[in-house]
Amino acid sequence: MKLLNILLSALLFSGSALTASAADNIAVKPAETNVPGNEYPKVDTSGRVHFRVHAPESKSIGVDICGKKYDMSKDDAGFWSVVTDSLAPGFHYYFLIADNVRVNDPASYTYFGCCRMASGIEVPEGPEGDYYRPQQVPHGQVRSCTYYSESTGKYRRCMVYTPAEYETSGDKRYPVLYLQHGMGEDETGWSTQGYMQHIMDNLIADGRCVPMLVVMDSGDVQAPFIPRKGKDVNEERALYGSSFYDVIMKDLIPMVDSTFRTVDDRQSRAMAGLSWGGFQTFNTTLNNLDKFSYIGGFSGAIFGLDVKTCYNGVFADASKFNKDVNYMFLGCGTEENMGTEALVNSLRGLGIEVDYYVSQGTAHEWLTWRRCLKEFVPHLFKSDK
Amino acid sequence: MKLLNILLSALLFSGSALTASAADNIAVKPAETNVPGNEYPKVDTSGRVHFRVHAPESKSIGVDICGKKYDMSKDDAGFWSVVTDSLAPGFHYYFLIADNVRVNDPASYTYFGCCRMASGIEVPEGPEGDYYRPQQVPHGQVRSCTYYSESTGKYRRCMVYTPAEYETSGDKRYPVLYLQHGMGEDETGWSTQGYMQHIMDNLIADGRCVPMLVVMDSGDVQAPFIPRKGKDVNEERALYGSSFYDVIMKDLIPMVDSTFRTVDDRQSRAMAGLSWGGFQTFNTTLNNLDKFSYIGGFSGAIFGLDVKTCYNGVFADASKFNKDVNYMFLGCGTEENMGTEALVNSLRGLGIEVDYYVSQGTAHEWLTWRRCLKEFVPHLFKSDK
């Protein structure tokens, strides 16, 4: 029967079927990002990932994870395996490299990142990671919303987090955080790789942040940035994801404010983004301070700013900026260099008030951004200047 | 810089980068399921799919789609290509076969099916497919809900479709359809592969079906069915996905009825499912007719029923069954054989009222199930017997 054949094939060719090995350490557990039924990849208590893949006819198999490539070795049964170095906790994209082609691991869930559907693995933290795990608290929802974008002439999907109380709070209206992903990612990133709904649920339940909506749309940067030949690279970069600016200002914000019970004013609207989304946040908020009063950049791809003149000189009058903007946050990890500290110093040199957060031991990766979100949102919508 | 290296690598190893070919027919278009930035795979007006993959070092590359394997041929630049036969319109899972290992096409989005994240492609229908496309009508939402399942001791995610009017209809309460996916799929299937939200939006806007909630949870059948050695295969099959029955009755329905504005009675509760989800629908509804009064099976994996005695003889008293159950629907495609017609005939032989729908030209695939949903939901919640 065709159905059974499909399932049998899926089983035969699965990357790492369930097998028992007496040599396995009890502290080595299947990753929580594994597709059910797959024992590998496993993670041990040192944060090392144990990969095991069945590919008897391949000439070479490797793993590309956290910026390093590992060659795998094959046993007589056609299983390739390798154990990585200790990796930082949190979420990592990775690929198998089969005969020099980057493919997904059939044993792991895939996530939109690296400009494609990419394998992902969660290396568990200890209890310090409980803030992004579901707890016995009231749970909000992440709503997938279809809407028509006049500015692009296409239907789009955005994701909207609503806090648990939204269902039963009658006519109460809520402030809104617009939250962007990075280059090569999309509107799903924050709720799948980022666990933003659990972070928000837990912070709201603890009374650390006010209930708010969080809107996540695509920054229109799913495809790689490829400057056209003969064009100026800076001009090309300005075009990359540029459709997003009309989308958010002309289509998305009006749709959100007409669909949800929001407070439609600048005191109740924030925006933050990671990496390229941090750049898009600067471009959006600093050109529209009549619409936004809270700003966050998480490992923002904000390079080469002349802070005295950029965005029509918005930073030149620090006292006005500090009065207009209720809160600005810039964060990054210790293991990356996006120039965040230099930007903070430049801004502070002008008298601009900006909080600077550094995530210890993390690079340009989702744990940095989960932590940034946790640090950022408690400051939102608590003070009008 | 690390970020740029990642993106450059993603580009270099992408399955089918944007390239221009003068020989391409204008009627051959990139599939709508392509990741942005990828020209291939393309679909032509005959429903043939044109695959093109860059893998210069691979010994062999093939494509496995719609139950047939196609060998690809390599050109001097290392691009492998093939054109398939004409395929049925709608959504199809597929795999590339690289040196005998089934991998995903990096150029396409992935979908949970075949017990893993699988590549998918949409072969476009004409205007007859407009019912599952977004139209200029009010749009409902698909809400991802986190909840704790006492029966499994784990947090789960379910997806809940709410109709557009739900946001603004005050205290109005709604009936609920519980809608299940098939073996090797999960709670995301109906809203990604199935486009159920567009089907519901369009039917509701046309006045063809009443506004309702649609709840989609995992049937706990993500992993393949593998009977244990030495065990009876029928008993093993009964265990496959069996955790779902306590989940839906003890955890999911109470959570939905306490979280959403539902009508909590059997006259306002329906259940349907495709393939294994059809089997789970029979097992759930026919054992709990105090909770359900509408039943749908789409290509249901319902085999070997003794209709006179099954489910404690529920079909033996046809007049009682026909009085208790407001509507029963069984559907399938012409190009599959799940035994649906024989089941319908057996039931009708006992005097059971059941609608039978046959989807022309489709197999055990999502277009069959989109059509089944479209045929099924207009019958719901309109008549209490």
| Chain A contacts in chain B segment 180-209 (CB below 8 A) | 183-184, 191, 197-198, 201
B138 vs chain A: nearest CA distance in angstroms?
9
* CATH number of the domain enclosing A18: 2.60.40.10
Taking CA atoms, what residue in B is nearest to A39? B223
- Please state, in angstroms and as integers, the Cα–Cα distance from residue B357 to each residue in A80, A201, B203, following that order: 48, 44, 18
Q: Would residue B175 count as lying in a domain?
A: yes
- Flag if A141 and B139 touch (Cβ within 8 Å): no
Question: Considering CB atoms only, which of B11, B104, B147 is closest to A103?
Answer: B104
- Tens digit of pLDDT per residue, chain B (385 long)? 344 344 333 333 334 433 434 344 458 999 999 999 999 999 999 999 999 999 998 889 999 999 999 999 999 999 999 999 999 999 999 999 988 889 999 999 999 999 999 999 999 999 999 999 999 999 999 999 999 999 999 999 999 999 999 999 999 999 999 999 999 999 999 999 999 999 999 999 999 999 999 999 999 999 999 999 999 988 998 899 999 999 999 999 999 999 999 999 999 999 999 999 999 999 999 999 999 999 999 999 999 899 999 999 999 999 999 999 999 999 999 999 999 999 999 999 999 999 999 999 999 999 999 999 999 999 999 975 5
Contact criterion met (CB below 8 Å) for B61 and B44: no
Q: Would residue A385 count as lying in a domain?
A: no
DSSP letters of B178-222? EEE--TT--TTHHHHTS-HHHHHHHHHHTTSS---EEEE---S--
- Flag if A223 and B142 touch (Cβ within 8 Å): no
Q: Say whether both A220 and A86 belong to one domain.
A: no
Q: Say whether both B315 and B209 belong to one domain.
A: yes
Question: Considering CB atoms only, which of B109, B117, B139 is closest to A35?
Answer: B117
Taking CA atoms, what residue in B is nearest to A158? B141
- Flag if B141 and A139 touch (Cβ within 8 Å): no
Q: Is B257 touching A (CB cutoff 8 A)?
A: no
Q: Is A269 touching B (CB cutoff 8 A)?
A: no
Q: Is B303 touching A (CB cutoff 8 A)?
A: no
Question: Considering CB atoms only, which of B1, B98, B201 is closest to A103?
Answer: B98
d(CA B245, CA B49): 40
- Flag if B144 and A197 touch (Cβ within 8 Å): yes
Mutate to test the interface with B, among A103, A191, A204 (most CBs of B within 10 A): A103
Q: Say whether both B83 and B32 belong to one domain.
A: yes
- Flag if B197 and A110 touch (Cβ within 8 Å): no
Query: Which residues in chain B are contacts of A134 at CB distance < 8 A?
Result: 146, 148, 155
Give the CA dihedral A58, A63, A68, A73, nearest 10 degrees: -60
Q: Is A106 touching B (CB cutoff 8 A)?
A: yes
How wide is the angle at C-alpha A357 spanned by C-alphas A352 and A359, nearest 5°?
160
Residue A22's contacts (CB-CB under 8 Å, 6 or more residues apart) are none
Q: Is A2 touching B (CB cutoff 8 A)?
A: yes
| Pick from B173, B259, B255: nearest CA to B211 | B173
Q: In whole angstroms, what separates CA A181 from the centre of its chain?
A: 5
Domain end (from A81, A107, A124): A124
Q: Would residue B385 count as lying in a domain?
A: no
Q: Say whether both B99 and B146 belong to one domain.
A: no
CB count in 10 Å sphere of residue A198:
22
- Flag if B115 and A142 touch (Cβ within 8 Å): no
| Chain B contacts in chain A segment 329-368 (CB below 8 A) | 336-337, 363-364
| Pick from B265, B266, B294: nearest CA to B281 | B294
Residue A99's contacts (CB-CB under 8 Å, 6 or more residues apart) are A58, A59, A60, B55, B57, B58, B59, B98, B99
- Flag if A10 and B114 touch (Cβ within 8 Å): yes
Q: Would residue A263 count as lying in a domain?
A: yes
| Chain A contacts in chain B segment 75-94 (CB below 8 A) | none
Q: Is A42 touching B (CB cutoff 8 A)?
A: no
3-state secondary structure B317-357: CHHHHHHHCCEEEEEEECCCCCCHHHHHHHHHHCCCCCEEE
- Flag if B224 and A104 touch (Cβ within 8 Å): no
Contact criterion met (CB below 8 Å) for A372 and A338: no
Q: Note down the domain range covering A65.
A: 2-124
pTM: 0.93
At position A13, the amino acid (one-letter code) is F
Q: Say whether both B166 and B90 belong to one domain.
A: no
- Flag if A14 and B116 touch (Cβ within 8 Å): yes
Tell me: cis bond preceding B127? Omega within 30 of 0 counts.
Answer: no
Q: What is the ipTM of this complex?
A: 0.92
How wide is the angle at C-alpha B171 spanned by C-alphas B168 and B173, nearest 5°?
100
Query: Which residues in chain B are contacts of A37 at CB distance < 8 A?
Result: 115, 222-224
Q: Say whether both B67 and B106 belong to one domain.
A: yes
- Flag if B142 and A141 touch (Cβ within 8 Å): no
Question: Considering CB atoms only, which of A6, A58, A143 is closest to B101?
Answer: A58
A162 vs chain B: nearest CA distance in angstroms?
10
Q: Say whether both A170 and A255 belong to one domain.
A: yes
d(CA A301, CA B297): 51
Q: Say whether both B347 and B217 belong to one domain.
A: yes
Q: Say whether both B237 and B362 belong to one domain.
A: yes
- Flag if A146 and B198 touch (Cβ within 8 Å): yes
In the prediction, which pLDDT does A58 show? Answer: 87
DSSP state of A35: P
Q: Say whether both B64 and B204 belong to one domain.
A: no
Residue B336 pairs with which residues in a beta bridge? none
Mutate to test the interface with B, among A38, A94, A110, A159 (most CBs of B within 10 A): A110
- Flag if A143 and B144 touch (Cβ within 8 Å): yes
Domain end (from B78, B108, B124): B124
d(CA B73, CA B75): 7
Contact criterion met (CB below 8 Å) for B200 and B140: yes
Q: Say whether both B67 and B158 belong to one domain.
A: no
Tally A–B CB contacts below 8 A.
206
Q: Would residue A316 count as lying in a domain?
A: yes
d(CA B301, CA B54): 39
Domain end (from A124, A145, A169): A124
In the prediction, which pLDDT does B234 show? Answer: 86
Contact criterion met (CB below 8 Å) for B84 and B4: no
Taking CA atoms, what residue in B is nearest to A1? B337
A231 vs chain B: nearest CA distance in angstroms?
18
A110 vs chain B: nearest CA distance in angstroms?
7
Q: Would residue A146 count as lying in a domain?
A: yes
Q: What burial class does residue B258 get, using C-beta atoms within 10 Å of its C-beta: 0-12 exposed, 13-18 middle, 19+ buried?
A: exposed
Q: Is A229 touching B (CB cutoff 8 A)?
A: no
Residue B121 pairs with which residues in a beta bridge? B92
d(CA A189, CA A381): 24
In the prediction, which pLDDT does B18 show? Answer: 37
| Chain A contacts in chain B segment 8-27 (CB below 8 A) | 9-11, 13-14
Q: Would residue A143 count as lying in a domain?
A: yes
Taking CA atoms, what residue in B is nearest to A57? B99
Tokens encoding B6: 């990642």
DSSP letters of A192-246? HTS-HHHHHHHHHHTTSS---EEEE---S--S---PPTTS-HHHHHHHTTTHHHH
Q: Is A239 touching B (CB cutoff 8 A)?
A: no
Over chain A (385 residues), the average pLDDT of each successive run of 10 is 40 38 64 97 97 92 96 96 97 94 95 97 97 98 98 98 96 98 98 98 98 98 93 90 97 98 98 98 98 98 94 97 98 97 98 98 98 98 76
Q: In whole angstroms, what separates CA B95 from the centre of its chain?
A: 18
Contact criterion met (CB below 8 Å) for B305 and B343: yes
Domains: count for chain B: 2
Q: Would residue B384 count as lying in a domain?
A: no
Residue B213's contacts (CB-CB under 8 Å, 6 or more residues apart) are B160, B161, B162, B163, B166, B174, B175, B176, B177, B256, B260, B262
DSSP state of B4: H
- Flag if A363 and B136 touch (Cβ within 8 Å): no
- Flag if A98 and B101 touch (Cβ within 8 Å): yes
Residue A141 pairs with which residues in a beta bridge? A162, B145
Q: Say whether both A78 and A213 belong to one domain.
A: no
In the prediction, which pLDDT does B20 show? Answer: 38
- Flag if B117 and A109 touch (Cβ within 8 Å): yes
In the prediction, which pLDDT does A385 show? Answer: 59
